[in-house]
Amino acid sequence: MSTAIWGEHEPLTTVEKYPLPLLKKLLQEMIRQFGATGGCIALYDENVGLMNIRMHLRLRNTGPTLVGNSTDGDTASFRRRVTIDLSNSSSSTSGRMKHISQSLDSDSIVSVEKSAFFPIGATYSPGQDLIGYAWRKNEPLIIRHEDYLVSLQSTEQKLFPQDITPAWYLCAPIQIPELAFDALNRRRTTAVIGVVLLYQTNYAIAFQQKHRFEAQQFSERIALYILNDQLRHLHLRTMDYMQGLQQISTAFPTAVKLSNLVEDVFQFVTNVVDVSSMLLTFYDRDTRKIYDVFAIDSGKRNDLLLEQPVVDTPDSRPVWWRVTQEEKRTLLLTLDSQEPENYSKYEELLKGTWGDQSRAETFLLLPMKMFTRVVGSLCLTSSHTDAYSPEEILILETMVQIITVSIENAKLYDRSRQSLLKAKQREESLAAMYSALQVISTVLHVTELLQKFVETVANLVQAEMCTFFQLSTDEQELVAQAIYDTTGQWRDVNQNTNKDEKHNDLIEMIRLPFKGSILEHLVEDETFFYLDSTMVEELAQASAEGGVIFLRETHIQKMLMIPVRYQMEIVGILAIHTPHSNRTFRPEELGALLAISGQAASAIRNAQLFEQIQEAYAELQHMDKLKDEFIVTASHELRTPLSAISGYSSLLKRQSGRITPQQIMRFATKIGSATQQLSDLVSNMTEAAKMGALDKKLELQLGPVQLLTAAEIAATMLSINIEQKITLHIAGDIWLQCDAMRLRQVMTNLLDNAAKYSPPDGRIIVTGSATTLSKLPEDQVDYAQIAEGFDLPVALVRVCDEGEGISSDDQQKIFEKFVRAPRSLTTPIRGSGLGLYICRRYIEAMGGRLWLEQSIPGEGSVFSFYLPCIDPPIEKSMDDESE
Amino acid sequence: MNQNNQTRKILVVDDDPVIRDMMADILEFEGYTISVARNGSEALQLLRSGENYLVFLDIMMPVMSGRELCALIEADPHLRKRHRIILMSAVDNLEEAATLEVDAILQKPFVVDDVIDILEPYMG
């Protein structure tokens, strides 16, 4: 197909419409057959509505020089007229032509290019001249030259200067036979498509009446030839269209690329019809939007349109909407001045993206239709009147329909592909979730589990940071337990989290306030929520250092928070975000996250329980071992006082006859002391058992106790059994509010310990002083007691010995139940191992603290405790009595 | 009567002053004068002097336990020959005490008669 020329349309040439070589051959044959000197063929020109002379042939030697010489000898040779019977079958034609060519040199009949007599290109209206006359009469005629001249004069037509003077004329209209109409099954605007004119210069050889009939037959033959040729052309064109349509329909197998589509449409349209402007519009049903995607205004392409289509709504294009979506019809308009109403009625369609089409002559709108659905329209204009024939419109309609089907197919394909893709994604996400849940529910180590949890969640939704905060036991704050971070900022922390206590401590420094903060309310009401930068800042202001660093330095723009609940009870919060990102999660992502969080909650609970059980079990085993050791040492401890009681009582019995009262007194005292020792041991054991796992509250009998007295009693009791000298430096006016029995037990224990680990000549010094809480070593102060701005008066008691000291490893352990300094295992030292544990519990129960102040190997240890101090009560009681 | 028996002295080795005092009280009534030591180390010094001793030896003591002292005596034939060792042991330590090369075992707690009975063969 040729490249179309935009703008001014080049009309189809005669060469295309009427094959001149064929006409020439036919005319040559006719001239010979009828023995004429020359002749011409005029054909109907649709553009002007006139007969137009297309061909004029003459015998070669009848040049202008022969004009007027009617007795030209050469013409005699043509008198041997070949009579042709046109009723013969066409197969005989070739034979006839062969015969002609044998008898006549075809070159002897040539085209008359320059002639004033029926020149090529001359036009005739109906009735004008011979041609017009034959056309109007629609029948062959024979006329003498003289009569012709008369007719010309009678119609006052101008007489052309003639280069040849014929004697006779034979004129016949060229018309398509009735039979052919039937075969074509269509009507033409005029039956006469042309006129053939023959002339004879020799008066002697007149055309005869039978020639009229023959001429009519011959002209019909010419008509059929022309028609046949037209049909052949039409066929060729249709072939071209079909090929184009096929190309169009195969251009969009699965996906429609808009730029390709419009290019193909453009190419096709210009190959089929004359186009000066074009507009391609699509309609999107989902968004109810109209898109102009391709426009050409008088040959100028709007290339920007493909990238940025003009978007409109149906409401702003009512005419377009009515024609395409409601009437769904092809609209062909003639816009010339004779039908101005077309323009005014459809003005909307003729303006807009493709410029002003008011100067166009023809307008065509083709709805892009599939079944009843219209997906868009193709609008064309031409500067020619009646530029689009019904056949062409039919072809364009077909093309548009093919495009529509392609587009719809592509859409369907795309949709099914997308839903397939979605299904696949969903499947993948489910699989990922399943494996994540598998991982989470099979891990029993809490730290490991939480790390897997955050890692899995982050990977599932492609987030860069994911943190799990656990609600502290007092529900005051949220403590970070695991961080997954791909940004690298917290990676060092993250990588070594597993079982690494120090790194865990680092993570746990990230704490967010919970009670009373925005989090508490949001967690209560929402299954998930987002923290924006304002809320993050609000939280940061209420957070401690670790939390502030996390909130401010991980660049949170929008953080998804998912409360992790186990049976309505908050376990913690999962926080997901990507630094600098303002991401909102899709519903399916949230669904997956919520599901996994729910599963994680129970997994976390399980792991926590498992860990607690493990800890309890380890604790139990530890206790069991300690108990075994305790029983060994305790039974040994019991043996000593028992031995004393047994020995002295048997001695009293055996020597009863010779024993002195002083000796009885001394032995009885020994027995009494041993009994007391036994009794203390037993009560220690009972107390320790009471303060076991259940941690029962101690039953205290609080009252005013003079520190000095309590110390003296303890020192005196112990001095019987120990060799070391106990020195007391305690002021008499220090009174404590405590349980006197427990205080004595604590003092005895501390002194006994001091003696046990000291050499026999070692000194044991007890000091007691009144002070206030704030003056005590920082790490031993219970700040809750001074939070009210009241500095509690306390008594500080220190027990110093010169013993072997306690190794730093053992300094914490010695306060545990059943634990004694480990040397005692190889070198047994008396003691149940309950002492310090019980002492600490007693002192704490009475509102104080007990600790190892210092211990230097080889030099000795200092155990200290404080208890709340009160004013001496005696004066008060005296005051009471005086009142 | 063995001359050694007549010249034998009594040594009580125990870290607990209560036990040491009690042994002294018991044996004074029987007419013996006794020596005391607070641990194996102190006892060893006395045993290496010229006297022959009947030793009442406790097992669990700081510095040097009764077990360690036994091992030292066992390793020294001269010491073993000169001294007689009576181990003072609680019931729960009897199995361990039986493995030691001692002359007798006095089970804690004991009465005066137990002490007299166990001591007689060695003191005549």
> CATH number of the domain that A477 lies in?
3.30.450.40
Reply yes or no on whether the pLDDT at A190 is more than 80: no
For residues A599 and A564, give the distance between their C-alpha atoms in angstroms, rounded to a whole number.
9
Give the domain CATH number at B53.
Answer: 3.40.50.2300
Please tell me the least confidently modeled range out of A90-104, A153-167, A622-636, B56-70.
A90-104
Q: Is the pLDDT of residue A185 over 70?
A: no
Which range, A194-208, A291-305, B68-82, is most confident? Answer: B68-82
Select the residue from A650, A656, A718 to test the B interface by mutation, using most B Cβ atoms within 10 A: A650
Residue A38: both structure tokens together: 């020359």
Nearest Cα of chain B lies from the Cα of A658 at a distance, in angstroms, of: 9
pLDDT digits (tens, 9 = 90+) for A294-333: 888 888 888 778 778 888 888 888 889 888 888 888 888 8
CA within 13 Å, CB half, A407: 23
Mean pLDDT of A687-691: 64
- Taking 60 as the threshold, does the pLDDT of residue A181 lie above it? no
A527 inside domain: yes
Which two structure tokens, joined as six digits, stand for A443? 């891990």
Contact: B60, A667; criterion CB under 8 Å: no
Residues A62 and A130 in one domain: yes
pLDDT digits (tens, 9 = 90+) for B18-33: 889 999 999 998 889 8
Q: Which of A364, A376, A275 is nearest to A317 (CA)?
A: A376
The band of A553, judged by pLDDT with boundaries at 50, 70 and 90, is: confident
Over residues A857-862, the mean pLDDT reads 83
Q: Which amino acid is at B6?
A: Q
Alpha-helix runs per DSSP H in B8-111: 17-29, 40-47, 66-75, 77-82, 94-98
Q: Is residue A130 part of a domain?
A: yes
- What's the DSSP call for residue A168? E
User: If you average pLDDT over every residue of chain A, what do you get?
Assistant: 78
Q: Span A437-461, mean pLDDT?
A: 82
**Is B123 a domain residue?**
no
Nearest to A829 among B18, B62, B93 (CB): B62
Q: What is the pTM of this model?
A: 0.41
Q: What is the pLDDT of residue A676?
A: 81
Residue A39 parent element (H or E): strand A38-45
8-state DSSP, A805? -
| Predicted pLDDT of residue A767 | 93
What mean pLDDT comes out for the span A560-566? 90
d(CA A639, CA A633): 10
User: In this predicted model, which residue has the larger pLDDT, A876 or A873?
Assistant: A873
Give how far Cα A521 sits from Cα of A20, A491, A526, A540, Å: 96, 32, 9, 17
Q: Do A651 and B25 touch (CB under 8 A)?
A: yes
Rounded mean pLDDT of A508-530? 87
CA distance B72 to chain A (A): 17
* Residue A153 shares a structural domain with residue A27: yes
**Cα A328–A331–A332 angle (5° rounding)?**
165
Lowest mean pLDDT among A162-171, A486-495, B52-61: A486-495
CATH code where residue A766 lies: 3.30.565.10
Residues A207 and A256 in one domain: no
Q: Which residue has the higher pLDDT, A715 or A90?
A: A715
What token pair was written down for A678?
A: 């036994």
Strand partners, A195: A42, A173
**pLDDT tens figures, A721-772:** 777 888 999 998 899 988 888 888 888 888 888 887 788 788 899 999 998 8
Place of tokens 């250092």: A545
Same domain, A810 and A729: yes
Is A686 a domain residue? Answer: no
Strand order across the beta sheet in which B34-37 lies: B34-37, B9-13, B53-58, B84-90, B104-108
User: Quick one: A258 and A205 in the same domain?
Assistant: no
> Of A120-129, A337-346, B75-84, which range is least confident?
A337-346
Specify the range with the lowest mean pLDDT, choosing from A16-20, A584-588, B116-120: A16-20
Higher pLDDT pick, A626 / A829? A626
Does A98 have pLDDT greater than 50? no
Please indicate whether, in this complex, the C-beta atoms of A827 and B63 are within 8 angstroms of each other: yes
Kindly tell me if the per-residue pLDDT of B45 is higher than 50: yes
Hey, what amino acid is at A356?
Answer: D
DSSP string, A619-652: HHHHHHHHHHHHHHHHHHHHHHHHHHHHHHHHHH
The pair of structure tokens assigned to A222 is 């010419």
User: Is A624 domain-assigned?
Assistant: no
A663 vs B contacts (CB less than 8 Å): 25
Is residue A37 within 8 A of residue A115, CB to CB? The reply is: no
Looking at the structure, tell me whether residues A188 and A308 fall in a common domain.
no
pLDDT classification of A349: cutoffs 50, 70, 90: confident
Question: pLDDT at residue A338 above 90?
Answer: no
Please give the Cα distance from A479 to A481 (Å, whole number). 6
Domain that holds residue A726: 697-876
Cβ atoms of A458 and A494 closer than 8 Å = no
pLDDT bucket at A153, cuts 50 / 70 / 90: low
Average pLDDT value over all residues in chain B:
86
Domain boundary among A557, A580, A603: A580
CA distances for A142 relative to A39, A69, A139, A209, A210, angstroms: 13, 21, 10, 8, 10
What pLDDT, on a 0 to 100 scale, did the predictor assign at position A817? Answer: 56
**Residue B1: what pLDDT?**
40
What is the per-residue pLDDT for A799?
Answer: 92
Which domain, by its residues, includes B17?
3-118
Percent of chain A predicted with pLDDT > 90? 8
Asked if A215 and A267 sit in the same domain, the reply is no
* Partners of residue B109 in chain A, C-beta under 8 Å: 639, 642-643, 645-647
The Cβ of residue A776 has, within 10 Å, a number of other Cβ atoms equal to 18
For chains A and B, what is the number of CB pairs under 8 angstroms?
78
Residue A688: predicted pLDDT: 65
CB A468 within 8 A of CB A453: yes
> Residue A152: CA atoms inside 13 Å, Cβ hemisphere, count?
14
**Residue B6 pLDDT more than 60?**
no
Alpha helix (H) residue ranges in A443-567: 446-461, 491-495, 501-508, 518-525, 533-541, 545-553
The secondary structure of chain A in percent helix, strand, coil, rounded to multiples of 5, reads: 50, 20, 30
> Is position A630 within any domain?
no
Best mutation site among B12, B14, B16, B18 for testing chain A: the one with the most A CBs within 10 Å? B18
In this prediction, residues A431-443 reach a mean pLDDT of: 78
Domain count, chain A: 4
Mutation test of the interface with chain A: which of B60, B95, B115, B119, choosing the one with the most A Cβ atoms within 10 A? B60
Q: Is A466 exposed, middle or buried (0-12, 13-18, 19+ CB in 10 A)?
A: buried
Q: How confident is the model at residue A823 (pLDDT cuts 50, 70, 90)?
A: very low
Residue-level length of chain B:
124
Vertex A117, ends A116 and A119: CA angle to 5°?
70
What residues have CB less than 8 Å from A798, skipping those under 6 apart?
A766, A767, A768, A853, A862, A863, A864
Amino acid identity, position A343: Y
Is A623 within the bounds of a domain?
no
pLDDT for A522-549, tens place per residue?
A: 888 888 999 888 888 888 888 888 888 8
Average pLDDT over residues A680-697: 63
Of A12, A5, A2, nearest to A298 by C-alpha is A5
DSSP state of A253: S
A321 and A447 together in one domain = no
Task: Write phi, then psi, for A598 (nearest 5 degrees).
Answer: -60, -45
pLDDT for residue A786 is more than 70? no
Length of chain A as a residue count = 883
Tokens representing residue A642 in the block? 């028992």
Q: Is residue B60 part of a domain?
A: yes
Q: Is residue B124 part of a domain?
A: no
CB contact under 8 A, A830 and B16: yes
Q: B26 and A651: CB-CB below 8 Å?
A: yes
Q: Are residues A197 and A317 in the same domain?
A: no
Q: For residue A689, tell me if it sits in a domain.
A: no
> Is A277 within 8 Å of A298 (Cβ atoms)?
yes
Residue A560's pLDDT band, with cuts at 50, 70 and 90, is: very high
pLDDT class for B87, splitting at 50, 70, 90? very high
The number of distinct structural domains making up chain B is 1
B18 occurs within a structural domain: yes
Q: Supply φ then ψ for residue A477, to 5 degrees.
A: -145, 170
pLDDT, position A880: 45
Which residues, other chains included, contact A372 with Cβ-Cβ below 8 Å and sequence gap of 6+?
A: A328
Per-residue model confidence (pLDDT) at position A405: 81
Q: Are residues A762 and A810 in the same domain?
A: yes
Which residues have CB under 8 Å from A430's CB, separation 6+?
none
B52 within some domain: yes
In the structure encoding, which two tokens stand for residue A808, read together?
A: 């730093």
- Single out the residue in A212, A237, A262 at which a domain terminates: A237
Q: Which of A23-37, A71-85, A399-413, A421-435 has the lowest mean pLDDT?
A: A71-85
Both A81 and A165 in one domain: the answer is yes
Cβ neighbours of residue A150 under 8 Å, at least 6 residues apart?
Answer: none
Res A441: pLDDT: 74
Give A366's strand partners: A378
Neighbours of B96 (CB within 10 A): 12
The ipTM (two decimal places) reads 0.91
Same domain, yes or no: A485 and A376: no
Residues A736, A707: Cα–Cα separation, whole Å: 7
Question: Is B90 in Cβ contact with A636 (below 8 Å)?
Answer: yes
Q: Are strands A38-45 and A331-334 parallel, antiparallel or unpaired?
A: unpaired
Confidence of residue A188 (pLDDT cuts 50, 70, 90): very low
* Beta partners for residue A763, in sequence order: A725
Residue ending a domain, among A580, A606, A639, is A580
Band of pLDDT at residue A707, cut at 50, 70 and 90: very high
Whole-angstrom distance, CA of residue A232 vs CA of residue A402:
26
A167 within some domain:
yes
pLDDT tens digits along A218-263:
888 888 888 888 888 878 877 887 777 777 666 555 556 777 778 8
What's the CA gap between A672 and A84, in Å, rounded?
170
